[in-house]
Structure 1
Amino acid sequence: MSDYLAQKLSSLLKLVAPNSDPGCALQLLKPIENGYEMDKVTLVNLVEHPAVKNNPVVIISICGAKREGKSFLLNLLIKYLESNMQEAWLNEPDTPIPTHFSWKSGRKAHTQGIWLWSKPYLIQKSNGHKVAVILFDTEGSYSGTGKQNDSDIFAFSTLLSSVQIYNMKDEINELKLESLAAFTSYTERAGTKTESGQIFQSLMLLVRDWTDDEFQCGVEGGRKYMEEELQNKKVTDEDLIAIRDKISKVFRQVKCTLLPYPGAIVDNKDKRHRQNTTQVKVSDMSGDFKEHLRIFFHILLDECTEPKEVGGRIIKGDEILNLSTKLFNLLRTKEIFNVSLTLKELDAAKAQTLMQQLQKEYDEKMLAISKSYCSETTVDEEHKKYLHQAMEKYNNEYNTSYTSHKNSFKQLLIDAITNLLNKHKQVRSAEEGELRKKYEDMTEEILTEHWSQITGSGFQAFGTKPKDLNSVQCELGTDAYYYEYNAKLMRKIRIAESRWECIKQLSEMQRDCINDYKKIMEKVIKKDFLTKDGLEEQNQICRKKTIKRFKANCELKDALVDDIQKQSNELDQQLSEQYKAVLVVYQEYMELKQKEFEADFEKVKKSYMEYIDMITRNKYLQPDDLQIVHDNFIKMMICELKKLDSATNMKFEEENQLITYTKQQLTDQYKHISDDMEKRKEDIREVSHEEVMELIKKIIYRFEKGVWKQNWFRQTFQQN
């Protein structure tokens, strides 16, 4: 025994990635009035567990008569798994026996329906294969709920599990095997090889409290005992004969293990521990029991744990839900013993399992395609290829006698794959949109930065290579769209640089236009007889010509319309600012000319006074004659003024205004002289006509050279 144990324990059976989840017992199938209720949420949570979802699944179920230690055995199995499949804990005497699945001694049944352990265990067998182990505990037979309930529970757990432990005490007999009677009918169609393969996988006949020395405890003694018992010729009942004859044909693998008595305390024959299972410890189990328990667990998990199959196809965790739902529907409709219907449903489960696998394979392949950011045409081509592969595999691997299944599930597979294609196209479109947005955002960022460089430092920045889109490429780990967007970026950079050159040329043209405007307006300011209104008129004309010339020149440049309009608007605004400066210069110029005019006119008045002074010194001149002299002077002066070239450019109203102004000024001087006429009598002398004309010419000369040509006249007369 020790050599066998050492050989077995040296295998590579181990627990993969232990987790800290404590686990708990949850009721999966609950008997209710007139039927059952399945907790689908609990099952969903279990099959969605990372250890289960994408791995082959082994469901170990234990069934048998009530009060024969099923829950107790499962608790020990959980402890074995929780201890990383190391039996050292069996050598720790004070370690309590777990009560994960509640158990009590006595005659009254404790477990109802089917319970499962919420924590799956991912193990690696000695052949290197990994499987996810799920544990079921079932309600005991003969628990008082009736044979139909016993058969239902046994049927559901056996059809769903890959390993069914059939727990018995003392021996194998006809009564113990009665629960298997209902399944003999399956042998008519599914006993050996059918289109669905063997329905039932592993059966472990576990005989507890073994005391017969004829057969040793353990697997080898169990094998010999099972062969003799199942071939017992003394049995005369035809149904029981059928059970014994066909049990090996219904199950793919049948083993038997004999376990010794665990001890009086565990069995609660020691009154001190009655009804108090929480106080049972490892030390309360017999040494012989613990030794064979080690071997049993090891063989169970390494040799009996074939993954769950449907129709010869291994199913994984996420496919268990479909199978369990179908079996529950059969159980709920009381059709689970309808061989024809059950086989048909199992065949459907086989088809759906294959469909799920083919969909998953297609999904994984198409995921790689959609992640490659290829064109939609390529996606469609790859879809056709992978759809064809899926159909070939479906036709080759789904062998069935149900023609309707073959066609209907094929169409369902096509529809499902089509839906997956649409999903991938949507995902691809969304991911492409996200990726393109990242490139577009980065492109705009680079363009903005480069534009800032070239506009800030001029053409010197053109010698510096701008950034590219490597950061986006590195972030995404793919060069999809990189070359496309990088080429666009380089083109936009060249356009931006060309645009900046155009803008600089436009700016130079703008400056030239402003300088030309300034030169023209400087000349306009000095133009003869220009009033303020005339200056505004000249400004409008000059501005329009300047902007028109600017736009005409812009058409010869490779510039954007927006840039031209912007520069044009800026030019117009700057011309407005320049005109303000022109007005200031004009005002200063007019003030200067006013002062010059006033100085020149003072000289005119002085000459007039000299003339009057000469006239009034004529001894023959009477005071009454002074008015005549003044009037004659004015007439002669006006006559001479009209002969001047500058006067011919004056309007009639302007000429009259000047004459009126001059007459007024000289008349004021005349009044002053007239009042002082008598005093001048003392110094009267003779004045010749030549002297008078010479003086008048002096005055006229001043008008010609000075006063008469001043622009200030027009401005002054208009204001008056």
Structure 2
Amino acid sequence: MSKQQHGKSGVKSEAIVVLRKGKPQLKLDRLETILHNYQDHPVAIISVFGEHRTGKSFLLNFLCQYLRENQSADWYKKNYVKLVNTFHWKGGVERDTTGIYMTDKPFMLKNDKGQDIAVFLMDTQGTFQKKFKPGECSLMFGLSTLLSSVHVYNLSSGLIRDNDFQHLEVFTKYAQALTERNGEGDAHILSPFQGLMFLVRNWEMSDYESGSKGGMEYLTEVMKTDEDGNDSIRKQIMKSFSDVRCHLLPHPGIKVTKYKDSSRSSIKLADLDESFLVGVDDLGNCLFSKENLLVKELNGGTCTGKEIMKLALEFKERIKSSDTPNVDTLLKINETVGFCQKLQDFEAEYERNMITEMGENYMEPKKLVSLHEKCQEETLSKYAEHDGLTEEKSLANKNYMRQCLSVAFKAMQHKNNARKENEKILIVGKAALAVENLYLDEMEKVASAQYLEDLTTAREKAVSATEEAFQTSTLDCNQDLVKKCMKDLHNAVKSKHREFKRRNAERLEILDQKLSMLVVETTMSYEASMEKEIKKTKSEAELDRAHQNAHKASVKRFEENDLVKGLGLKSKKDKVQSLSDKITECFQTLKKDTDTPKSENEKQPEQDNKMNYVQQQKEAQAIFEKRKDLALTYSTAFNDHREKYVEDGELYKIHIKAKQQALKAFSDFEKDISSVAIENYWENKDALEQELEQLFDQVKENNVKNKKNIERSLNPFYEELSADYLRTMNKASRNASDSTLGTLHEVLVSSINEELNVEIPYENIQQIAIATCEGMLIEKQDEVNNGRNIWKELMDQAGASTVGLNVGKTGSKDGRDSVVIESILANFNVNISQLASIQFLKSLKF
């Protein structure tokens, strides 16, 4: 019974091809029901195909989400939105989609001609599944190709490989064979295929930007080749499809790896990396915008639902009661048993030569490729010495051996990348060291422990000094990596500059407090001087002259104070103007009092106000100093965690405790404050709370930096692990049954997870590392399985048995008995603790 998957948009996916006794069966009744209301309507069908377990169904749900949101510009920014579940998907290595599924309703869109187009999405089961013959997979590919207006070729390896072209050629030939069989049939069946899009998933290379623009540039480059055979394949593919495109889509992010399947998972857009969502948005535009939407055509005319149905019916008639056409496939390569037995010796010699030439240091990728090509040719020459086969078989063997050496080379690349990551860590460390104290020292030299109004000149000098120190310390490092790490240096500089700006702001606040007191003191000195002059002077003109002299003397005294001398021009001008305004205000009051003499009873409140004002200013200074002392005490609570990462929950506990202590101490200080300064006290209390939160933001920023350092230190481990896994699994794949090889994969993953749990003391980093390793090793497992399938086919062609070591699972709590595990590891000479990746992990100091 076929499953129906309901999406939130009201659109379901329905099976139009099912497997019965291992044979694909087209369900014409279901297809007719789907197309019934669109018999005279222009139709576009977007299908996705590719290898199994590569996220095709998962991707289709995002395209449904894009269409459901009416292609709005900000659909992917709605973090709270849950992903529609139109096409069922699940994680893991076992296939989920079998047959072909299609949306039961179309999304109605307009094309560039203003026509309403019924757009359907189609999901095709993965190719090269071990339970299906190549012809059966090809049959489904042929049907989806014939029905589709755009065929999306889903490639999860992060690039377009030669064998991707070869697989596509195989299926294309098959589809052509179905349409051209017996040399007859209606003309529309002989029409060429329409749109083909290479969708490169998990794109992470910097050579081309992700999206359609970078994809077309990458496709142009990939289409170039010096090999005649591959060149003909590329040309054939370009001829077979009228519209060939390419799109580069980043990885969705590690969060989604924890989800098991769509029936038990509720993914929100917030769980996906923004780069992936932006990529899906761009992909949606490439497929569904008015100018890009491809309507299904036959003989140059628009295809309706009625014609789609007729095409499917004729397709079914052509394959009814007939064997599948016999075409060449990548999985059928003639080989001999003797060559298979010698192959491991050739690989081992290749690896020894590569390791010897590589040495212990990181090698530039171009040099590494050149070394690989050299060692590969040497290995092939050794093979030629033992070659006594026909020319055709010899060529097939050489091509297969190249593929085996390619897998071995990938392990070497991962090893080399581990060295690269290690050297980058060293260089980044030197960058941090160059900045750590030097930048602040250079800034302080200019500041001289005073507030610095203009930071530009000081910053330029400090940056220049840190760059020079960094370049000097990295002279013995790979200079290409040094250039790439300059960004880390500048990020460190920015962090230190923010720290200096905070210091500078604090100095300005302290300076303002002191200057305010100085303005008060200078104004009071002026007032005392003028009161004496008032007693001596008889006329208003004399009083004005006395004011001008006292004013000038007061300003001069103010400017000569050390606090004011350290100010910048603008700040100094502002403070002098503030003093001048207060002196002028004081003079006007004195003149008024002279014109209208006051009684002793009237003078007393004014004197009291003056005394209160002075007291208020002194208490304000004390309150300010108390606040700064408590902020400093708060900071000391984190002294033990400056260089060490602390998990967020623990860090927050330290913050809450230290903050409560600081605020309590400030509250206890209230009893020493008089009523004239109480308003200032509450202002400072609010300021203290804000300051503590700002200080905590600095602590969190530093903690994030420490976390990133840990995550960066794990990058070489991931590369080492990839190399270990490829070497281990590739060698085991020659001698193990499918079940045993699967169990070995599980043992490796489980063992790695146990090591990560032991070695990494932080739970959140632990879980991220486990998810990263599991996802990464599943991808590598697909590479190993692809090679193993070719190996099995080669052995079958040679008439040899492919049944190797087979160890069943037992009933332990995790599905595997310890004796079974030990047996598997012993048979394949695997010592988990001695793997280079595990040794590296244990050497890390967290």
The normalised TM-score by structure 2 is: 0.35
The normalised TM-score by structure 1 is: 0.40
